[in-house]
A = this chain, B = another copy of it.
């Protein structure tokens, strides 16, 4: 049995209302996560934060772009939920929210599960054909 995302393309009547709401929310969240990952500066920011939290100025300093350009990327990362920021005094610190990347893992796992089911079906067809001949 593959993870629940796969059910979205099957009749929704088979699912309870809370499950449907949860799946729709995850689908929207995935859109934002993939948009955030679709830029090399943002991916490099995620990679840097994988080594630990960093102040906005330290993080921005690692890139050869203007601070306003970097802040735009940071807002995209924040709205995706991949990065959280908190302010202490005059320093704003960025932290990676790793759990958010699990949405991507789950989606990929579901695709692999569906591919394996297809392979199983193909093997069954071949086995049935060999029995018939």
In the complex the two chains form, is B8's CB within 8 Å of A44's CB?
yes
CB contacts (< 8 Å) of A43 on chain B: these are 30, 107
With A51-B114, A101-B111, A114-B50: A31-B39 Cβ-Cβ less than 8 Å:
yes
A-side interface size class: 20 to 34
Copies in the complex: 2
A 94-133 to B, binary, CB cutoff 8 A, 1 in contact else 0 = 0000100100110110110011011000000000000000
Listed in ascending order, the chain A residues whose CB lies under 8 Å from chain B are 5-6, 8-9, 27, 30-31, 34-35, 37-40, 43-44, 46-48, 50-52, 62, 98, 101, 104-105, 107-108, 110-111, 114-115, 117-118
